[in-house]
C-alpha cells in the first residue's frame, strides 16, 4: 500500500486560487466519468519543496484522451492528442497548458485458479519514472482531494535530499536519466544516492550511451546548461567521464572554470541590463565549453547531438565569425565606432556574450557593451528610395552607399537626416 497523507493545507498555502480551482475541476470531471485522477511528478515534488512549478501533469486511471477532450470542451480549450501514447495536452485560450496521460488498467494473471489481479495502474505508471522524488502523486477526485500518495518513498528521499532510481536497470533502460540525476542533484542541492551512483558507474562501464539518440542527449544536456547555475553539473559530467559521450575533444582545460564563471557573470550582467531581450543561455555555456575545439570537432558534435540547423550553424560557422571578431578586438582596440559595428553587427547576442566570456581583461567587454547599449541601435533615417529621389540608379551600389553613410553616422559625422542625404548625395 502506498503511504498517504493529506496535503490540502499545503496546496492552499502554496498554489494560486486559479490553479487550485483548476485541479478541483479536473477532479470533479474525471470522477463523473468514472476515472481515477492524480496530479503527479515534478509539480508535486516542487510543491513539497516549496518551489514554484506550473507544469501540471495529470494521470488518469482510465482513458486520458477521452477525459482531455471532455474537459477541454467544457473549458473552451483546445487539445493536442497523441493516440499512440494515450496522452493529450490541453491548451487554454491564454496559452496555459495541462498534460494528461493515461494509466491503463493492467491485469496480471495470478497463480493457480485465483482470479486475475488488478494492480493499481497509477503505481505502474509511476514505476516507469526516473527517480523516487518524481513519483509522488496527489489525488484530485472530490472524495480524496489533496491526498498525497507515495508508493516509492519519494517523501523520505525529499527529506533526506537524495536522488534515487526505482530499480537497478533504470539507467540501462534510459541512459538520459544519468544527465537528469545530475541536473536534479545540483538544482536542489541533493546527493545522488549510493546505489544510484554505483548504477551510473555501471551504466558508463556497460557503455549504454553508445546507442543513445543524439537528440535526446542534446535535450538533456541543454536543460542542464539552462539551469540557474550549470557549472557544478558541468564539472560533475567531466568527473563521471560523461563529456566523452558528446566528444572526447571537449576537455577540462586549465582556463575552463574561469571562462565558465565569466560566462555566468556575463549572463547575470545581460539579465540586469537587457531584461526584455530573450536569449538562449545554454548557447553561451555550450560555446564556452567548445571554445578550443576546431571545425572538425564541431562538425562531429553537431552530428552526434543531431543539432537542428540553427544550432549547427551557430556551432560550426557563427562561432568562428565570433572568433574572428575576438581576434580583431584583441588587436584593434581602441577602435572607431564604425569599425566596431562592422565587426560585431553580424553576431547574434549569444555570440557577443560568448566573446565577452572568453575575453580576458576589461577592454573587449567594454567595447562589446558599448556596441550593445549604443551602436547596435543606431540606424539611418534615409533608405533606398531616398537615393532614388536623389537621382541614383537602383543597384548594388545602394547597399555600399548606405553602409558608408551609416559608418559616418556611427562616427558622429552626421547629425540629422539632412546630413545623411547630403553625405549620400556626395556619391552622385
Ligand atoms: P523540470 O523541472 O526540469 O521540468 P520535471 O521533472 O518537472 O523537470 P520533465 O522533465 O518535463 O519535468 O518531466 C516530467 C516528468 O516525467 C518527471 O517528473 C519524470 O517523472 C518523468 N520523466 C521525464 N523524463 C524521464 C525519463 N527519462 N525517464 C523516466 N521518467 C521521466
**pLDDT mean over 97-125:** 72
**What is the pLDDT at residue 116?**
55
Share of the chain above pLDDT 90, in %: 82
Confidence of residue 222 (pLDDT cuts 50, 70, 90): very high
Helix H or strand E segment including 388: helix 384-389
**What is the pLDDT at residue 233?**
96
Ligand 1 atom closest to Cα of residue 174? 27
**What is the pLDDT at residue 236?**
93
**What is the pLDDT at residue 32?**
97
E strands within 145-301? Answer: 147-150, 162-163, 191-192
**pLDDT mean over 304-329:** 95
Q: Which of 206, 213, 195, 135 is nearest to 172 (CA)?
A: 206
Instruction: Determine the distance separating the centroid of ligand 1 and the alpha carbon of 120, expressed in angstroms.
Output: 21
Q: Which of 97, 103, 130, 188 most suits a substitution to test ligand 1, by most atoms within 8 Å of the C-beta?
A: 130
Q: Please state the φ and ψ torsions of residue 78, each to the nearest 5 degrees.
A: -105, 165
**What is the pLDDT at residue 393?**
82
Which protein residue has the closest C-alpha to ligand 1 atom 21? Answer: 129
Ligand 1 atom closest to Cα of residue 223? 3
What is the residue whose three cell numbers read 562592422? 342
Q: Are 102 and 64 in contact (CB under 8 A)?
A: yes
pLDDT, one tens digit per residue, over 178-189 is 999 999 999 999
What is the residue-averaged pLDDT of the chain?
Answer: 93
ipTM: 0.96
**What is the pLDDT at residue 110?**
55
Which protein residue has the closest C-alpha to ligand 1 atom 26? Answer: 130
Which residues contact ligand 1 via a Cβ below 6 A? 41-42, 55, 57, 129-130, 134, 174, 176-177, 180, 223
**What is the pLDDT at residue 79?**
97
| For residue 106, pLDDT beyond 60 | no
pLDDT, one tens digit per residue, over 236-290 is 999 988 998 899 999 999 999 999 999 999 999 999 999 999 999 999 999 999 9
Higher pLDDT: 245 or 69? It is 69
**What is the pLDDT at residue 113?**
54
| For residue 120, pLDDT beyond 70 | no
Report how far residue 136's alpha carbon sits from residue 301's, in angstroms, rounded to the nearest whole number. 37
**pLDDT mean over 17-31:** 97
| For residue 295, pLDDT beyond 60 | yes
Confidence of residue 114 (pLDDT cuts 50, 70, 90): low
Report how far residue 183's alpha carbon sits from residue 161's, in angstroms, rounded to the nearest whole number. 14
Strand, coil or helix: what is 367?
helix
**112-116, 123-127, 324-328: the lowest-pLDDT one:** 112-116
User: Helices (DSSP H) in 91-213: which residue ranges?
Assistant: 121-127, 154-159, 170-173, 176-188, 194-205
pLDDT, one tens digit per residue, over 346-370 is 999 999 999 999 998 899 999 999 9
**What is the pLDDT at residue 396?**
87
Crossing angle for the helix pair 231-239 and 176-188, nearest 10 degrees?
140
Q: Are 162 and 63 in contact (CB under 8 A)?
A: no
Instruction: Determine the distance separating the centroid of ligand 1 and the alpha carbon of 190, expressed in angstroms.
Output: 16
Confidence of residue 388 (pLDDT cuts 50, 70, 90): confident
Report how far residue 274's alpha carbon sits from residue 172's, in angstroms, rounded to the nearest whole number. 43
Which protein residue has the closest C-alpha to ligand 1 atom 8? Answer: 42
Amino acid at each position: 500500500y502506498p503511504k498517504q497523507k493529506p496535503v490540502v493545507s499545503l496546496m492552499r498555502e502554496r498554489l494560486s486560487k486559479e490553479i487550485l480551482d483548476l485541479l478541483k475541476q479536473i477532479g470533479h470531471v474525471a470522477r463523473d466519468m468514472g476515472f481515477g485522477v492524480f496530479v503527479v511528478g515534478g509539480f508535486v515534488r516542487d510543491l513539497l519543496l516549496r518551489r514554484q512549478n506550473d507544469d501540471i501533469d495529470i494521470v488518469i486511471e482510465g482513458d486520458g484522451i477521452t477525459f482531455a477532450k471532455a474537459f477541454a470542451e467544457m473549458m473552451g480549450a483546445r487539445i493536442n492528442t497523441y493516440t499512440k501514447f494515450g496522452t493529450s495536452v490541453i491548451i487554454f485560450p491564454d496559452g496555459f497548458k495541462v498534460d494528461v496521460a493515461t494509466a491503463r488498467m493492467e491485469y496480471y494473471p495470478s497463480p493457480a485458479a485465483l482470479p486475475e489481479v488488478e494492480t493499481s495502474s497509477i503505481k505502474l505508471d509511476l514505476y516507469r519514472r526516473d527517480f523516487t522524488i518524481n513519483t509522488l502523486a496527489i489525488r484530485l477526485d472530490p472524495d480524496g482531494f489533496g491526498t498525497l500518495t507515495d508508493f516509492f518513498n519519494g517523501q523520505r528521499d525529499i527529506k533526506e535530499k537524495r536522488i534515487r532510481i526505482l530499480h537497478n536497470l533504470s539507467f540501462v533502460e534510459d541512459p538520459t536519466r544519468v544527465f537528469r540525476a545530475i541536473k536534479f542533484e545540483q538544482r536542489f542541492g541533493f546527493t545522488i544516492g549510493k546505489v544510484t551512483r554505483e548504477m551510473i558507474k555501471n551504466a558508463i562501464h556497460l557503455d549504454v550511451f553508445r546507442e543513445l539518440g543524439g537528440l535526446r542527449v542534446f535535450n538533456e544536456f541543454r536543460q542542464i546548461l539552462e539551469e540557474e547555475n550549470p557549472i557544478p553539473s558541468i564539472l560533475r559530467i567531466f568527473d563521471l567521464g560523461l563529456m566523452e559521450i558528446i566528444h572526447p575533444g571537449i576537455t577540462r582545460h586549465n582556463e575552463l572554470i574561469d571562462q565558465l564563471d565569466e560566462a555566468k557573470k556575463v549572463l547575470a550582467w545581460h539579465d540586469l541590463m537587457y531584461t526584455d531581450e530573450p536569449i538562449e543561455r545554454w548557447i553561451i555555456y555550450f560555446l564556452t565549453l567548445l571554445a578550443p575545439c576546431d571545425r572538425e570537432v564541431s562538425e562531429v558534435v553537431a552530428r552526434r547531438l543531431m543539432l537542428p540547423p540553427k544550432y549547427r550553424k551557430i556551432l560550426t560557422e557563427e562561432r568562428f565569425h565570433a572568433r574572428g571578431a575576438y581576434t580583431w578586438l584583441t588587436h584593434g582596440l581602441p577602435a572607431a565606432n564604425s569599425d566596431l559595428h562592422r565587426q560585431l553587427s553580424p553576431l547574434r547576442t549569444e555570440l557577443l556574450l560568448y566573446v565577452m566570456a572568453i575575453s580576458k581583461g576589461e577592454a573587449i567587454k567594454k567595447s562589446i557593451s558599448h556596441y550593445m547599449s549604443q551602436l547596435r541601435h543606431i540606424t539611418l533615417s534615409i533608405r533606398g528610395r531616398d537615393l532614388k529621389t536623389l537621382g541614383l540608379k537602383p543597384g548594388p551600389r545602394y547597399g555600399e552607399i548606405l553602409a558608408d553613410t551609416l559608418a559616418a553616422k556611427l562616427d558622429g559625422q552626421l547629425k540629422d537626416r539632412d546630413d545623411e542625404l547630403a553625405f549620400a548625395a556626395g556619391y552622385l
